[in-house]
Every structure is written in C-alpha cells, then in structure tokens.
Amino acid sequence: MKDSPRALENASVTLAEGMHFAGRIDGFSIDIDAEESVGGRGAGPQPLRLLLLGIAGCTAMDVISILRKKRQEVDDLEVEVLGSRVEEHPRVYDDVEIIYRVRGKGIEPRDVERAIELSEGRYCPVIAMIGEATRITSRYEVKEA
C-alpha cells in the first residue's frame, strides 16, 4: 500500500442459516443465498451475480451523468447485464454482455455511444476489474419518449 492513508471500503456477511448469509455494505442489508442445488432456499441472490449488478450500476451511473452534462433529456435508463458461466470450477463468467436502453426526447445516439465508451474505457472501476477476467461486449438502444 502507498504511504498516504487511503480510506478502506468494506462489506461483510454473517451466517444466518443453511447457506443464507446476511450481508452488510455501508449500513445497508443485502441477504444472499446459494443456488437451490447446493442448499440455498431463495433468501437472496447468489454472490456471483452481484458482479453483474455491480457492472450494471457502475456504468449506468457514468452514462446518466455524462448524458446529463451533455444536456440530453433522459427519461429512462435501463442497463441489463448478462453473464455466461463456464462448466468447470471455479465456474467464472467467460462472456458478459451489457445492454443499455435509453429513452428520452431527441436523444442523440452519438452522445450515448460516447458516454458508453467513456464509462467502459475510462471511468467504471467495476468494468475495469471484471474486464481483466472475462470478455465484455455491449450494445445500446435509444427510444423516443
């Protein structure tokens, strides 16, 4: 670590019962659970899928923020992330696809494209990290409000 102190971020899980764990991030509670095939009982999402949600949230925030700076009138932004897992342990995602759906008045597709490029190539730490381990592709759709 560097000499200058940096704030540590943290998250934790505590056993509830079975494979159900109570998770905490910054005072927020997020229950997680395993797949049913390995003892889960549907108390929460599986931990690996949090990576997909992390990708979706991180890039969505970049994109909405950049589009607002460009004075684009965005009414809706949905980001969906799909992951395909290999069969062998540790069963990582080897293919991830991001789909951006933007709805608004007179949205300029080139601005959406540029916002996505900036997020994926420069700003989004989740994509920068996960992109070291898997192929990530993306596409977008623009709809008139």
Instruction: State the residues that interact with a copy of itself by CB under 8 A.
Output: 1, 6, 8-15, 19, 21, 23, 25-26, 28, 30, 32, 34, 38-39, 44-58, 60-61, 64-65, 74, 76-85, 87, 89-93, 95, 122-130, 132-134
**CB nearer a copy of itself, residue 39 or residue 109:** 39
**CB nearer a copy of itself, residue 12 or residue 144:** 12
Distance CA 20, CA 34 (A): 7
Closest CA to 45 of 67, 13, 79, 3: 13
Least CB distance to a copy of itself at residue 98 (A): 10
**CB nearer a copy of itself, residue 74 or residue 115:** 74
Least CB distance to a copy of itself at residue 70 (A): 16
Least CB distance to a copy of itself at residue 90 (A): 4
**CB nearer a copy of itself, residue 113 or residue 137:** 137
- For 32, the token pair is 């997680």
Closest CA to 135 of 87, 98, 88, 89: 98
Least CB distance to a copy of itself at residue 107 (A): 13
Least CB distance to a copy of itself at residue 110 (A): 21
